[in-house]
Each structure stands twice: as structure tokens, then as C-alpha cells.
Structure 1
């Protein structure tokens, strides 16, 4: 898979969405929570589906920073401290194309685990 490279990346802080714009004029917005729970890091994905760690309590997660890694990926620095894993253009395209299926599967796994998107305890953010 050789995904197109975005020509524009914008973080919509208030909406908590990452927008990827392309040469053809199309753009896609992905919720930060979706990106966080589908992080390509070994910490989240494990070393196979059976070793993946279900991400819970990420409903209000945001971004602290975004850095480009070469010409092939973005590194997202989430405000919950998670910043491992590189979001390659191919992986971002896969997330865009499979968003509905991925999200439904995630919500089902949360339900099966008796877990929630809501954070535990009091949310503390530094501005």
C-alpha cells in the first residue's frame, strides 16, 4: 500500500480532531481518541492481536505536539503522556478507510470488558 502524503496537517484543538489534507483537495478528520486507542505502538498493539492492550478512559485525550518523521510518518504526542508509535501514511490511510468498522469493534471490546471510554477519577489537564 502506498498512501498519498498529506500536504496539510491541522490539529483542531477544540474539536479534538486531526485533519489531514491532500493534493486532490480532499481532507479527513480523525478524532484524537480514535488515534490514541489505535496507536501503532507496541504498548497498545502488543506483538499481535492477542497481546494488544485495550485502551480505556481515553474519551477526552488531546495532543500536546505533532512531529513529522522523515517523509513517511507522524509522531503524535498525546496529552496523557503516550508518544510511542509512528503513524505512517499507510497506517493513517488504513485508519481513515476503516474508521467505522474499527470504532464499532473497539466499542464492542470495551463493552465485553465492562470498561468505559470515560476516564477514571478526576481529569487534570495543564494548559
Structure 2
């Protein structure tokens, strides 16, 4: 279990990133990446296939972070979203599999004709 715990966590509000340090490995995750991959029911839905594609989150920031017991981190976003608890295991997965998760998200946006920056459906 302890291998999933970061040795340090740094919030960089100006660059809108969260830095997670695991020993000698540093990961920087953007607020947008974390917001669109929030483990909340609002984002993931209440069942398989019920997730809601998050659009228009390119400029979202992180207002704060709070520990949730010994198992998770609560991230408070500046768009008012604060209901997802990012478990240590999930955060490590987001770090280690960043490129694949990000490409999947971009593909979902493209398939939906949606945008990262305005939340509007692109009109052909």
C-alpha cells in the first residue's frame, strides 16, 4: 500500500498543476487533466457507460487540496467541482498512464465534436 503514497505533493496554482513525487520520480498533472478524470459520480456516472464527458475545462484551476483520511486526496477546483476523492492508487494510475488516459480523453472529445476550451459542441 505504501508504494502508492507519494512522498511529497505540491500544488502549483500559477501553472495550474499538481506535482506528485514518488521517491525520485516526479509527475506533474494539469488541473484540466485531473478535472476531466475526476472519480466523482458527476463525471463517471452512477453506472457503467453513464459517465459525462467533461468539456470546456482547459482553463480550470485548483483552489486547494485536502487529505481524505489515509486513502485519498480531495481536490477543490475553481469551477466549483470538489466531490471526487482521488485515491492514492487512482492518482498513481493517472501519473503512470497519463499519455494513454489523455489520448483517450482527446479521442472522446473528437468523437463528440466537443472542445477543451469552450464546452460548446463544434458545428461543422
Structure 1 residue ranges, 4+ long, deviating more than 6 angstroms after superposition: none
Question: Which residue of structure 2 lines up, in the alignment, with residue 95 of structure 1?
Answer: 94
- The 8 Å contact of residues 13 and 63 in structure 2, kept in 1 or not, is answered as no
Moved more, 4-13 or 92-101: 4-13
Normalised to the residue count of structure 1, the TM-score between the two structures is: 0.87
- The 8 Å contact of residues 3 and 90 in structure 1, kept in 2 or not, is answered as no
In the comparison of the two structures, how many residue pairs are matched? 120
| CA–CA separation in structure 2 for the residues paired with 1:26 and 1:112 | 34
Where 2:42 maps in the other structure, the secondary structure is helix
CA shift at 1:47, angstroms?
Answer: 2.6
- The 8 Å contact of residues 2 and 90 in structure 1, kept in 2 or not, is answered as no
> Is residue 2:84 matched to residue 1:85?
yes
CA shift at 1:7, angstroms?
Answer: 2.3
Normalised to the residue count of structure 2, the TM-score between the two structures is: 0.89
Please list every run of 5 or more consecutive structure 1 residues that lacks an aligned counterpart in the other structure.
122-127
Note the aligned Cα RMSD (angstroms): 1.7
- The 8 Å contact of residues 77 and 83 in structure 1, kept in 2 or not, is answered as yes
Distance change in 2, residues 1:91/1:114 (3 Å): same
